Amino acid sequence: MIIDNKKLNNLLKEKGIVKSELCKALNISSRTLAKISREEEVRDSVTQKVLDYFNVSREMLLKINNIYETLKREMENKIGGGLYYETEIRLTYNSNHMEGSMLSEEQTRYIFETQTIGEISPNVKIDDVIETNNHFKCVDYVIDNAFVDLDEKIIKNLHFLLKQGTKQAQMYGAGEFKKYPNVIGGEKTTSPEFVEKELKVLLNEFRSIKDVKIEDIVEFHYRFEKIHPFQDGNGRVGRLIMFKECLKNNIIPFYIDDRFKAQYYNGLKVWEQEKGFLLETCLFGQDLYKQILDYFKIDY
């Protein structure tokens, strides 16, 4: 649960105390206080203590993110056919298909629903199936860690989850930065020896933004893909990061529909000259996700 800092400050002002006094009264550690101040997720027991102390409803204290709460609840309770289910399928099918997976959307659904392969056409690679199942785990990881500050560990964990068990993992490793130079769309990327340094700069700059907007998330994505820290899987990891940061910052998430991958790749290519192409593609993906939210009658 996330305690809304503004709401908490209002309650403190009404009671005539400061946060340090609240922590002392409730026996909350300074570390937990810091997490509350940064609007990071805290234990349910801590939140309940604060609610009981002020004797207020959840709406009076918590930062309500209906999309995240629905995804989290449905994931934890294994509820099928809802927002979580559709999110898993849309993100996994489209992101993998953009990278050459031969699995259809229906085959992707079948794998998610049954955890079995079913009938697969001869042109489907084994790695397509492995990465589909792995991507489902990545989406779960994103939901579980939505409110954790983005860092190198999260990025490497996403890559490890995505690539474990694949042929590329045997060749280059899973969760490890690239060892050889690579290109994207004919453009040079960061040399392996500078990846860690440039990624650290990017993360520090992104975390310093006080009020993250969708434009900031798309900007991060472009710069992340420009660095291209892994030998393979950069696009999928990058798109998962965008979904995570939308959840964290209470922004309506989005996915890139495979039908518009040409616009997406072109947007990345011309970003420094014209940011509108990539941003508009992402905003269209947001409209597609809104249609799912509307169908399930989830407020946003």
Buried b / exposed e along 36-71 (16+ C-beta atoms within 10 A): beebebbeeebbebbbeebeeeeeebbbebebbebb
Helix (H, G, I), strand (E, B) or coil at 57: coil
pTM for this model (two decimals): 0.85
Helix (H, G, I), strand (E, B) or coil at 7: helix
pLDDT at 44: 84
Residues written for the chain? 300
**Which stretches in the chain have pLDDT values below 70?**
none
Q: What is the dihedral of CA 229, 249, 4, 155, to 10 degrees?
A: -20
List the beta bridge partners of residue 62: 3
List the beta bridge partners of residue 3: 62
pLDDT at 39: 86
List the beta bridge partners of residue 183: 188
pLDDT at 2: 85
For the stretch 215-221, contacts whose Cβ atoms lie closer than 8 Å and that sit 24 or more positions apart, written own/partner, are 215/275, 215/279, 217/242, 217/245, 217/246, 217/249, 217/251, 218/242, 218/275, 218/278, 218/279, 218/282, 219/275, 220/245, 221/278
Instruction: Compute the distance between CA of residue 3 and CA of residue 86 in angstroms, rounded to an integer.
Output: 28
What is the set of domains in the chain, with CATH numbers? 5-64 (1.10.260), 67-295 (1.10.3290.10)
- Indicate the residue type of 131: E
pLDDT at 119: 78
pLDDT at 122: 78
pLDDT at 125: 92
Instruction: Compute the distance between CA of residue 229 and CA of residue 232 in angstroms, rounded to an integer.
Output: 9
Write the pLDDT tens digit of every residue in 176-201.
999 999 998 889 999 999 999 999 99
Inter-residue contact 58 to 51 (CB < 8 Å)? yes
Is the C-alpha dihedral spanning 36, 42, 44, 45 positive or negative?
A: negative
